[in-house]
Structure 1
Amino acid sequence: MLDKIKNSFDDAGKLSLFTARFFKEVFKWPFQLNEFLRQCYVIGYKSLPLVTITGFIMGLVLTIQSRPTMSKFGAESWLPSMVSLSLIREIAPVITALICAGKIASGIGAELGSMKVTSQIDAMEVSAINPYKYLVVTRVLATTIMVPILVFYADFIGILGGYIGYNVHGNASMYSYFTNVIEHLEFLDILPATIKTFFFGFFIGLIGCYKGFNASGGTASVGHAANSAVVTASLSIFIIDMLAVQITDLFFS
């Protein structure tokens, strides 16, 4: 038990140093623009199909499941605004971030882990290439930027799915539906949800890189790095979301 606690604190300390090194390296020249753009493509564009399907189902199911309860209170007209607020403020950011944790963090952990155990990272250092700046900084920046964009996309697809779900037992035009949604949205509904997605993306990339960059012990450690990256990144998302909700309630309520 004591060994597990000691290892947890040791791991937290190493992650802190890893994070500090990121902020040190990110401002050093030159910036690996081509690798950064490639990672944006891999992380963002290739995640669109999964985010599209998930976002559409979220909006569709939430609308269909909420309709009977709203109808009992004669508040069916509030359904579009309720669904959109739920998606934008909480459901879409967290679910999309968890999808990215499962897809992106595991991919980064496995990729960097395999490079580590096959000595490719050591070879980069011998070749006078900074592997941390080339491999870590580009991936963390890419996730920090692309996850919020994916969340915005999931918001729109989720609201569109809600429109289709609303018309299963109704007959509302797309114009009236989206007008209802926009009329009940406020700036403070969007701002806190947007800010926390940047933290989601940052920690997804950082944890995936940390687990992969520190893999050791042969090829078996690659799978361990990928699995550990998903678990730790998912846990960090819930912690960040909990803190974000408390801060939002404290300062914006």
Structure 2
Amino acid sequence: MASLSQVLLGPVAALGRATRDALASVGRVARFAGQGIAAALTPPWYPRQILSQFLSVGFYSLPVVGLTAWFTGAALALNIYSGGDRFNASTVMPQIVALGITRELGPVLAALMLAGRVASAMASEIGAMRATEQVDAMVTLSTDPRRYLIAPRLIAATISLPLLTLITDIIGIAGGMQVSHYLIDLAPGIYVTNTVDFITAWDVESGLIKAAVFGFIIGLMGCFHGDNAKGGARGVGRATTSAMVSAAVLILASDYLLTSVFARP
């Protein structure tokens, strides 16, 4: 029969173990990130690998990002029209759509799409290479896996997402413009003029800064979980799911932190 001290201290001990494990996980991710950044910033580089990852992360993600951006801009315009019409404020639709897309929805939605498509793909690819001992073979051949596998993915994701975000901004604003043309008969030229006159350079720049951070998170989570995959095919599956979920959670958390910094006067 358990003693009173064991009953009272059991939850405390469980909380301590959970805290220790969480801090250990943060430390492993931070160490992995430091090694990946060092490999990305110092030679030798592998241009062919970097270009291949640019195509995989950026170019092949254009269709899903473009569709997401258009429907998001159109849905945002519909909601603004529905809510603004109650206060006779539907004419401010171009300004609100542009601000919402460039500062928030553009980088976040593009990042979430890439988290589902790219982070999971990176984790499954590197996890499969780890399970089949291809990574160990690279070490045997005097090839640093951090430079050959991790660094190109971090570079490609960090640079590709801001470029995709720019495209997302343009397509999203175009979706809002099309909806406003049919709803309130606002001419496209007037819509574009109102958008350009209202939006500032910082609105776009803040979204691009967010996108670069989100891209690094996506590459980091995909590579980290793939590199730590264990247990064969089942372990690779778990790594794929963990990479996508952790990337999405960190994107939303970092979005709040960055927004709280950028929103200060």
- Fold match by TM threshold 0.5: yes
**Aligned pairs (5 A) from 1:136-175:** 136-175=150-189
Give the AA of the match of 1:23.
I
Q: TM-score, normalised by structure 2?
A: 0.91
Distance in 1, Cα, partners of 2:69 & 2:183: 21
Given the alignment of the two structures, is residue 88 of structure 1 paired with residue 88 of structure 2, yes or no? Answer: no
Give the AA of the match of 2:19.
I
Give the AA of the match of 1:8.
A
Task: Return 5+ residue gaps in structure 1 as ranges.
Answer: none
- Compared with structure 1, are the counterparts of its residues 152 and 115 closer, same or farther at alpha carbon in structure 2 (3 Å cutoff)? same
Query: Which one of 104, 108, 114 corresponds to residue 100 of structure 1?
Result: 114
State the Cα distance separating 1:68 from its structure 2 match: 2.2
- Compared with structure 1, are the counterparts of its residues 65 and 249 closer, same or farther at alpha carbon in structure 2 (3 Å cutoff)? closer
Q: Hey, which bits of structure 1, 4+ residues long, moved more than 4 A?
A: none
Query: Which one of 49, 65, 90 corresponds to residue 35 of structure 1?
Result: 49
Give the fraction of aligned pairs with identical amino acids, expressed as a percent. 32
Distance in 2, Cα, partners of 1:150 & 1:187: 17
- Compared with structure 1, are the counterparts of its residues 27 and 52 closer, same or farther at alpha carbon in structure 2 (3 Å cutoff)? closer
Distance in 1, Cα, partners of 2:83 & 2:153: 44
Distance in 2, Cα, partners of 1:189 & 1:49: 24
Q: How many corresponding residue pairs?
A: 251
State the Cα distance separating 1:172 from its structure 2 match: 2.6
Given the alignment of the two structures, is residue 16 of structure 1 paired with residue 30 of structure 2, yes or no? Answer: yes
Determine if contact 2:106/2:207 at 8 Å carries over to the other structure. Answer: no
Distance in 1, Cα, partners of 2:76 & 2:38: 44
Please tell me whether Structure 1 or Structure 2 has the larger radius of gyration of its CA atoms: 2
Give the AA of the match of 1:218.
G
SS at match of 1:128: coil
SS at match of 1:84: helix
Give the AA of the match of 1:101.
A
Correspondence for 1:203: 217
Q: TM-score, normalised by structure 1?
A: 0.95
- Which deviates further from its counterpart, 187-196 or 42-51? 187-196
Query: Which one of 119, 133, 139 corresponds to residue 133 of structure 2?
Result: 119
Give the AA of the match of 2:21.
N
Task: Return 5+ residue gaps in structure 2 as ranges.
Answer: 1-13
Give the AA of the match of 1:145.
I
Given the alignment of the two structures, is residue 56 of structure 1 paired with residue 67 of structure 2, yes or no? Answer: no
Distance in 2, Cα, partners of 1:64 & 1:127: 58
Give the AA of the match of 1:213.
D
Distance in 2, Cα, partners of 1:125 & 1:192: 40
State the Cα distance separating 1:218 from its structure 2 match: 1.5
State the Cα distance separating 1:72 from its structure 2 match: 2.0
Correspondence for 1:131: 145
- Which deviates further from its counterpart, 48-57 or 61-70? 61-70
Query: Which one of 178, 191, 195 corresponds to residue 181 of structure 1?
Result: 195
State the Cα distance separating 1:11 from its structure 2 match: 1.4
- The Cα RMSD (Å) is 1.2
Distance in 2, Cα, partners of 1:233 & 1:4: 21
